[in-house]
Structure 1
Amino acid sequence: MAVLPTVPPEAPRTAPGVHLRRLWSVRPASDREAGDAIVANFILHWFPARSLKESMEWRYSLWLGTISTALLALLVASGIPLLFLHIPSVERAYGSVKDIENVVTFGSWMRAVHRLGAHLMVATVFLHLVRVFLTGAYKNGVGRGQNREWNWVIGVVMFLVTLFLSFTGYLLPWDQLAYWAVTVGTNIASAVPLVGAQMRELLLGGRAIDQPTLTRFHVLHVIVLPGVLGVLFAYHMWRIRKDGGLARADHATRLPAPAEVPAERTRTKTYSLLGVARGQGPLIRASSVERPETTVSSVPELTRRVALVMLGTVAVISILAVFVPSPLEEPANPLVTPNPAKAPWYFLWLQEIVTDTTIRVGSFTVNGALVGGVILPGLLVALLVVWPWLDRSPAAAAGRWFPRSRRTQNAVFLVIVAIVLLLTIVGTFSRGPYWHLYWPWQAWPEMPTRF
């Protein structure tokens, strides 16, 4: 029997220098590969093929949006193991958190990472909102189909969801700090006219903070609010792509194009039905924001910066968690009221306004909870939402820090931000027993615990 020679299998048909390299989509060797990486990689599909150089400047956006995204991812990563260890029960919640702190390996560090990440995310999203306002990035530019006003509204809603997400997580340790902070916060919400009491009862699951409250806050913190924030975040990023990137891109289109050497116009002749038409050929020039000297390939220029910011954020939080442990006070006790009882730090400015607007004139009392806790913050949020349609500054001011045409509104906005920060600092460091004012270096008097 004749033995047939063995035929080697056919080599796979792959483009040389592309699929033979495992990391070609992360480290492309050419502009063609950089463009293909955006389509071939699921994660990189978030980015455009080319990015404007000015949009990637550190001093323009401060990369606050990327830092917020990194903090959100870190909160999810650190919250999953805590979800398995925490027991949402009024009898066992405090004990489970105590075990995380003292028994679980790296448990105290993991909880500190989650807590610091939550606080810093509130601060970072707030600063991101401030940056967008000061640069007028909510205004439409020269691109077609832009709708940056609604993306600004989505950003405001995301900020409110972030606040509520942090607030719902505040109660989960079920200690005195968490219990009374939530008590103060929900009491402010109950001042809403007509529906305030019903809103508080719906949120608490009753008229007192108990097991239904802990269950509802746990579900909101773990499932509902993260899901809402994830959907809003995906739409927010998609809307940025549809609007042509950051507002800085619209500003760049108004910049004069770099000087070019004029091409020599040649004499030509064209044959027509009427004979030979002699003259000069047309010279066509176009200016685009995507011209090579103003853009770079997103891979790896943009992705490298994103990775650097995200890794740096994770590293900073991880190091801070070693030196800044999470507090855990005595178990929650509704019969023992701390003096003073304070809301979470990001609501302290509201608590301060409530105190300052509570005015007693004889038998008449101005409801500070209604004025400072509902009306004033409600007006501020409503003004933020509708401001893009009220802003009459020219479109050329979009994507620029402190343009002259936006000087007045930026100054008023910064004054409001400064007042909010000042009230937060006063409420944090200068409010002592019975909500009296003390200098930070003054010692608080010894006060008996109120029952």
Structure 2
Amino acid sequence: MHRQARPAGVRVSLSWFALRSGRKRTGRACSQGAAVAGCLYGRQRSDHRRRRDGAAGHEGEGMSTTHGDRTALRDLWNNLRAAPRRIAAAAFRTGAPVTDRARSSFVFGNVFLHIHPVRTHRWSLRWTTTLGLGVAAAAAFIITLVTGVLLMFYYKPYPDVAYHSIKDIHYVVPTGRFIRNLHRWAANVMVIAVLAHMARVFYTAAYRPPREFNWLIGLALLVVTLALSFTGYLLPWDQLAYWAITIGANIAQSPRELTDALGITHVFDPGGFLRELLLGSDTVGEEALIRFYVLHVMILPLALLALLAVHFWRIRKDGGLARPADADQRLGNAAGISPVFTAGPVKTYHLAAVVEGRTPAVGQGPENTVPSMPHLFIAECAVLMLTVFICLALSLVSDAPLKELANPNVPENPAKAPWYFLGLQELVSYSALAGGMIVPGIVVLGLGLIPFLDRENAGSGTWFGGPGGGRLVLGSAVFGLAAVLAVEAFAIRFGWLRQWYAHMPQPVITAINPGTVIALIYAVYSLRVVKHYASARAGAVALFTCFVCGFVVLTVIGVHFRGPNWAFYWSPAEWPGH
């Protein structure tokens, strides 16, 4: 075969780019005379390709379909193999983060991670800074959320069948007992973690500006956490749950102590209103169970999620975790840590204008920060796994309690509230209004006012405010323990006003009882500390430590040393009937 001669082109002045553009437009009409040569050459190549493909098609007729099917199947198989990688790429928008810039983009582009800062100060990564308590509380909440959803598939919130549905979960449903145990222990771990987290924030003065509002959010989270655990206490509908909620309803009704004494209950009855608001009726029944169920599975979890979102967001917007002013000097410069601001070439700046305000941060030195991905996320995952391990271990060795079916005619003796309310129940045994509302209300109000009363700057981000703060905490703990033990021992041994004077007016009993006496002793002690140290922060630390010690002692007494009729026993073996 003779090679077809290329037709002579028109000699024109063309750039290489124009010629390449002409080749790409093969098969189209060339409207510009400058690309005539390119179009002619492109058309010849296209005609030659069509003739070659046509000849191959005639020669392999009958086999082209099979070859095409094999190609399509191979492409389908390759696409299936690449599907996971493509799904991940579509979800995360960026590849595996291997550089600081990629890690920053990864954090910004992930809906679950963008609440974290791009970089985290190394002081915040020290385990002694936070002890991981906030992450542990969030992890426990996630566990309760997941296990709670699983339990909802089998639980029936009606008094006639609620108890039997719990028994089915416990004894019939596969892994039902384990899931219920895990739900219960995760809830307890969450309460402990939230309480400890609040104490950590207080002792490191992490509530100071600009974090005052986030302290209030944390206080609201504590209240919602306790309410969430309390509302779930009734759902098993056994004797323990029924009479524990009855105690809570009686505390809600405690304002009648004063309204009855003043003779105005028929006109003004806040206690009756609170009781009916809590139970939906005058007794613990179907209305109470439905209300507690809705609160437990819908309203309170949504409120907690909303508060958590605001809490995490404010942590980032408020500059991260609180740290001392000399944190960088304490840490030093670690090898391998890339600073935010690196040394650059010397630049010359011209004065553009003189305005009122602060000067920009020019020439700022390096910061002890690292990318949040992976440093912060690895630490959070470690705390998450530890929390899961603790909950799993407790669930395997201890079952959630389940007593007999609730019977309103047979009181549980002793009837005890959940463990985190037993300290209040100890005070309620002397005065329901003072122990159940007045003292807790004063504590919550005082905690809310702390950020606005302590306006000092020294000691922020440091445990107990420095070396001297540890001695203050230790001394306050000793005083707090001694005071609560002395008052409780006196009340247990000699009784109180009601035992001494049967006709003592109720307002006097409400005003003078072990709870108010302990609170008064603690308040006087904290004022003396303020005067001695000339520091409101020192007084707040002393008062907070005393109340923590009082809470622990009263809770231990309620759990281990109170028996039938709320009498004091050194051991359950001394209870009547043993």
Tell me what 1:397 maps to. 459
Q: What TM-score comes out, normalization by structure 2 length?
A: 0.64
Contact between 1:26 and 1:300, CA under 8 Å: does it hold in 2?
A: no
| Contact 2:426–2:554 (CA under 8 A) maintained in structure 1 | yes
Asked if the contact 2:450/2:540 (under 8 Å) is kept, the reply is no
CA spacing shift, 1:419–1:25, aligned 2, 3 Å: farther
Using the TM superposition, give the Cα deviation of residue 438 of structure 1 relative to its aligned residue in structure 2, in angstroms. Answer: 1.0
Q: 1:325 to 1:257 in 2, by over 3 A?
A: closer
- Other-structure match for 1:445: 576
2:163 is equivalent to residue 114 of structure 1: no
Displacement of 1:4 in angstroms is 5.8
Q: CA deviation at 1:97?
A: 0.2
Write the distance in 2 (CA, Å) between the matches of 1:319 and 1:136.
Answer: 34
- Does the Cα contact within 8 Å between 1:136 and 1:399 map onto a contact in 2? yes
Q: 1:21 to 1:118 in 2, by over 3 A?
A: closer
Measured on the aligned residues, the alpha-carbon RMSD in Å equals: 2.8
- Structure 2 partner of 1:286: 364
Relative to structure 1, is the Cα distance of residues 256 and 347 closer, same or farther in structure 2, using a 3 angstrom cutoff? closer
- Relative to structure 1, the CA distance from residue 391 to residue 105 in structure 2 (aligned partners, 3 Å threshold; closer, same or farther) is same
Q: How do 1:19-168 and structure 2 match up within 5 A?
A: 28-140=97-209, 146=210, 148-168=211-231
Asked whether the 8 Å contact 2:182–2:392 carries over to 1, the reply is: yes
Aligned to 2:282: 207
Contact preservation (8 Å) 1:68, 1:121 = yes
**2-side partners of 1:431 and 1:20: how far apart?**
59
Deviates most, 166-175 or 341-350: 341-350
**TM-score normalized by structure 1?**
0.82
Aligned counterparts, 1:4-403, within 5 A: 28-140=97-209, 146=210, 148-192=211-255, 194-248=269-323, 252=327, 285-287=363-365, 291-292=366-367, 294-355=368-429, 358=430, 368-392=431-455, 394-403=456-465
Distance 1:103 1:415, change over 3 A: same
Please give the secondary structure, in 2, of the residue aligned with 1:402.
helix
Q: Deviations over 1:123-144 (max 9, x none)?
A: 110110111111100002xxxx
* Per-residue deviation, residues 295-349 of structure 1 (Å, max 9, x unmatched): 1111111111111111221122112201111111000000001211111111111
Any stretches of 5+ residues in structure 2 without a counterpart?
1-49, 55-67, 69-74, 76-84, 257-268, 335-342, 351-361, 470-534
What does residue 422 of structure 1 align with?
Answer: 553
Q: For 1:331 and 1:423, how far apart are their aligned partners in 2?
A: 29
Q: Which amino acid aligns with 1:202?
A: L
Query: CA distance change for structure 1 residues 249 and 240 in 2, over 3 Å: closer, same or farther?
Result: farther
Do the aligned residues in 2 keep the contact of 1:175 with 1:328 (CA within 8 Å)? yes
Once the two structures are TM-superposed, the CA of residue 396 in structure 1 deviates from its matched residue by 3.2
Compute the displacement of 1:252 (Å): 3.0
Letter in 1 for 2:245: V
* Cα distance, 1:76–1:256 mapped onto 2, change above 3 Å: closer
Find the structure with the greater CA-based Rg: 2
Among the aligned pairs, what percent are the same residue? 43
**What do the CA deviations read for 1:338-383 (whole angstroms, capped 9, x no partner)?**
211111111111110122xx3xxxxxxxxx0111111111111111
Shift of 1:226: 0.4
Corresponding letter in the other structure for 2:317: K
Q: Which residue of 1 aligns with 2:32?
A: none
Give the aligned partner of residue 435 of structure 1.
566
CA distance in 2, matches of 1:41, 1:258: 30
Q: Say yes or no: does 1:2 pair with 2:51.
A: yes
CA distance in 1 between counterparts of 2:51 and 2:134 reads 71
CA distance in 2, matches of 1:47, 1:427: 41
Distance change in 2, residues 1:249/1:408 (3 Å): closer
Q: Which amino acid aligns with 2:272?
A: A
Q: In structure 2, the residue corresponding to 1:2 is in which secondary structure?
A: helix
1:411 maps onto 2:486 in alignment? no
Q: Is the 8 A contact 2:189 2:391 kept in 1?
A: no
Q: Provide the C-alpha distance between the structure 1 equivalents of 2:541 and 2:377, rounded to a whole number of angstroms.
A: 32
In 2, distance between residues paired with 1:51 and 1:431?
48
The more displaced of 217-226 and 316-325 is 316-325
2:191 and 2:220 map into 1 onto residues whose CA distance is: 13
In 1: Cα distance, 2:279 partner to 2:196 partner: 31
5+ residue gaps, structure 1, are 10-17, 141-145, 271-283, 359-367
More strand by share: 1
Q: Distance in 1 between matches of 2:179 and 2:87?
A: 40
Gap change, CA 1:301 and 1:257, over 3 Å in 2 = closer
Tell me, in whole angstroms, the C-alpha distance in 1 between the residues paired with 2:288 and 2:435: 25
Query: Residue type matched to 1:56 in 2?
Result: L
Pick which of 402-411 and 180-189 moved more.
402-411
Give distance in 2, aligned partners of 1:207 and 1:415. 37
Equivalents in 2 of 1:45, 1:3: separation in Å? 57
Cα–Cα, structure 1 residues 208 and 29, in superposed 2: closer, same or farther, change >3 Å? same
- Secondary structure of the residue aligned to 2:111 is coil
1:100: how far off? Answer: 0.3
